[in-house]
Chain A
Amino acid sequence: MSVPNQTAGLQLNRVAAGNGSVLRGPILLFFVSGLFWLLIAAALWLFSAFQATDPSSPLVFPDVAWLTYGRVYPVAMDLLVYGWASMIGIGAAIWILDSMAKSPFSGGYLPLLAGIIWNLGLLFGVWGVLGGGSTGKEWLEFPVYAAFPIWLAEIIMAVWAFALFLGRRSKGGYISQAFLLTAFIAFAWAYGSANGFLLFCKIGGMAEPAIHWWYFGCLISLWLTPLGVGIVYHFVPLMIGRPLYSAKLATISFWGIVGFGGWTGIAQILGAPLPAWNQTASVVANVLLVVPVLAFATNLHLTMKGSFDLIKPNLALRFLVTGGMVFGLASIWNAITTFRSVNRILEFTWAITARTDLFLIGFVSLVCFGAIYYVLPRLVGRSWKYTRLIQWHFWFSIIALGTLVFDLTIAGVIQGFGLMDPKVPFAAVIDLTKPFLLGYELAGIFIGVAALLGVGSFLTVFVNPAWAPDSEEAPEPVINEEVSLA
């Protein structure tokens, strides 16, 4: 069984295919919304970082219910996942699926409708959680009236994606399409079934956290991962003008992620009273997941080999390749910290938070920005001018990521070893982590700056000179004019 690889047939023209103009509106809607939610998420995250580390800070409002840490932090994380990463991922997926399908069907109103409903869901979700309607389940905090619209919008997107794919004019398929279509199926199933079980069926007892954390694994490994991997597999060959190095590696990465992804979540709560085989299966899945992820990273590396010079001038490519490489590292780190001997120390600590952040900021967010920087100029017919700003954005993203993950991991290791020693009182353990949590505040500031630079760069494209689709020059954010792109 193999995933079709027809890279040779992958269109290298830089203009959106057939219905690009009809889908311009929906893609822009998803991009603008995603960036908007990113700004809100970054602001709330920064806010919560100060609250978590310094209870006497002027950012703590003990008299205002909706500004307390327990409501602000979950909203920041939910917006990062369901607002920022998901919406940009879908926007890029619309572009990719449409440009691959060359279908007479565009159904432009479906993505538009989905975008509007998705935004409404997020709005209800923020309102609900801040207002005291949170379900109290991490990453599933949105109450029913917010979760349902998001799920509905996703179903609409899935229907659109399959209709487009089945009606396509191009022959065969490409690996990025397989990943994106899988993401749409998996999220619809996982989000629907988790919310259905947890919010409608009112099941009680330990089945609740089992389903809840199964869902978390699906959210990370079968929604955000295939979106990100699909984007990288699609745009990187386009940008360097060469097909993917290996179809075999692509096939391994696909079936590996699909096969192991759903099993990864339970490893978040090892030691809980769940069936032992569930926990073992989840640890094994997290470790085995390294294989497909490294297959992906290796494939990316071998595809880029000889073209690595391009990541210096081509900033969109730089975001995508860096994101893909970070994913490889993140998956190794994920496997190491899942081993029972390591996990019993790091469980419940900031190090586990950092592990998720490494994935969300280091892989997903970088890839999302890479997609924006590639797609946007083609969408609005303008090229990038203020590429220095994008360069700043890239470096601030890397600094933010480094500060965040480094600080929280060190804090988590100290917290973990402290908690393992019952002679150290709990309050003393937390005190030991405090110096590093100042770094968390700093990381929050960097993330805010990076988000602002990203949004700023996004906006500058609209004031830039028009770019003619048939001109030789690519509209990439390129900082060195001398390097020409294939």
Chain B
Amino acid sequence: MNRLSKIIGGVFVLFGFSWWGLAVYPYLSFASLKENVDPNTKEVAPPDLPGAAQQGYRVYAANGCVSCHSQFVRDKSEGADIDREWGKRRTVARDYMKDGQVFLGVSRFGPDLTNIGLRQKDAQWFYRYLYDPRLFNPDTTMPAYRWLFQDQAIAGQPAQNALKLEGADAPRPGHEIVPTAEAEALVAYLLSLKRDYALPEAPAPQE
């Protein structure tokens, strides 16, 4: 079939066109993004991630958090994301330039986490939420991640990051529940999720 070459050629051209447009073009155009340095304060935006958070995104990826949680705030014209106070402004490409991995997500069965580190600043809150989400919200469908924690005998002083748990969740006497290294990394990552710096391309909408 001399048409075979036509078909193969056509497929390569048409398919390659989409590959160039949606994969290569964004790759090239985002590769040239530079951080924003405020001329007056010399503040760098977006800021560098703290070391602990750089491991945490792997825990976020491995456990499919993205199955229910998104991480992008759409413009006011696109939805109620800003009115829901998930962010003061929409997120732009530069917000993600330093992320270990970008978790946009396509499901909001759980709330958006773009700025969860602004809404909750206490690691203890995150530990307790991950350990038993129903402590905070009896109706939530979020699974409990008890395996991110370990039950250990208290040796001398109680551990600093031991979970403050009461009632049915309280540990046995003489024991305490402490986060594992994975939980610590995950919570450090979640605490780092805050886009509270200004970028000229994304001014906060006026009220």
Contact = CB atoms under 8 A, between A and B. Distances in A.
A465 interface: no
A273 B90 contact: yes
B119 to A, nearest CB: 12
A208 B97 CA distance: 10
Interface stretch (A26-34, A178-186, A228-236, A303-311): A178-186
A69 to B, nearest CB: 5
Given A4-B3, A63-B146, A278-B22, A207 B31 contact: yes
A282 interface: yes
A55 B3 contact: no
A172 B33 CA distance: 51
Given A1-B10, A353-B107, A272 B72 contact: yes
Contacts of B91: 273
Interface centre among B21, B33, B67 (most CB of A within 10 A): B67
Given A4-B3, A63-B146, 17 more contacts: A65-B147, A68-B143, A71-B64, A173-B1, A190-B19, A193-B19, A197-B23, A204-B98, A209-B102, A210-B22, A255-B10, A271-B74, A274-B93, A278-B25, A419-B80, A419-B84, A426-B84
B147 to A, nearest CB: 5
Contacts of B21: 263, 278, 281
B10 A206 contact: no
Given A222-B15, A262-B14, A348 B70 contact: yes
Contact of A273 (B14, B31, B95, B109): B95
Contacts of A430: 109, 139-141
A209 B104 contact: yes
Interface residues of A, number: 94
B177 interface: no
A138 interface: yes
Nearest to A72: B64
B149 to A, nearest CB: 10
B67 A207 contact: no
Interface in B122-137: 133-134, 137
B106 A352 contact: yes
Contacts of B6: 1
A228 to B, nearest CB: 17
Contact of B7 (A181, A273, A340): A181
A419 B79 contact: yes
A365 B10 CA distance: 28
A141 B64 CA distance: 9
Contact of A274 (B26, B85, B103, B145): B26
A133 interface: yes
Interface in A265-290: 265-266, 268-275, 278, 281-282
A119 B80 CA distance: 44
Contacts of B107: 348-349, 352-353
B19 to A, nearest CB: 7
B130 to A, nearest CB: 10
A207 B15 contact: no
B19 A189 contact: yes
A214 B4 contact: no
Given A73-B67, A173-B4, A419 B103 contact: no
A269 B140 CA distance: 25
A206 B144 contact: no
A205 B97 contact: yes
A190 B23 CA distance: 10
A421 B80 contact: yes
A19 interface: no
Interface in A410-462: 415, 419-422, 426-427, 430-431
Interface centre among B100, B134, B143 (most CB of A within 10 A): B143
Nearest to B61: A136
Given A136-B101, A207-B26, A271-B75, A70 B143 contact: yes
B62 interface: yes
A155 to B, nearest CB: 16
Contacts, number: 244
A206 B7 contact: no
Contact of A182 (B11, B23, B33, B67): B11
A132 to B, nearest CB: 4
A419 B14 contact: no
Interface in B11-63: 11-12, 14-15, 17-19, 21-23, 25-27, 29-31, 33, 60-63
Interface string B103-120: 111111101000000000
Contact of B79 (A55, A138, A208, A344): A344
21 contacts: A62-B145, A71-B63, A173-B3, A185-B12, A189-B19, A193-B23, A206-B102, A207-B26, A207-B27, A210-B26, A255-B14, A258-B14, A262-B15, A273-B72, A340-B78, A349-B108, A352-B107, A353-B107, A421-B80, A422-B84, A427-B140
A98 interface: no
B80 A420 contact: yes
B33 A205 contact: yes
A68 B65 CA distance: 10
Nearest to A131: B62
Given A55-B134, A181-B7, A273 B64 contact: no
Nearest to A433: B109
A63 B147 CA distance: 5
Which 4 pairs of residues, A with B, have the shortest CB-CB distance? A136-B61, A70-B64, A262-B18, A422-B83
Interface centre among B33, B60, B107, B137 (most CB of A within 10 A): B107
B68 to A, nearest CB: 8
A259 interface: yes
A182 B106 contact: no
A112 to B, nearest CB: 26
A269 B104 contact: yes
A353 B144 CA distance: 23
Contacts of B97: 204-206
B193 to A, nearest CB: 15
Contact of A185 (B1, B11, B17, B100): B11
Nearest to A182: B11
Interface string B163-181: 0000000000000000000
A136 B64 contact: yes
Interface centre among B15, B72, B105 (most CB of A within 10 A): B15
A185 B145 contact: no
Contact of B137 (A172, A261, A347, A427): A427
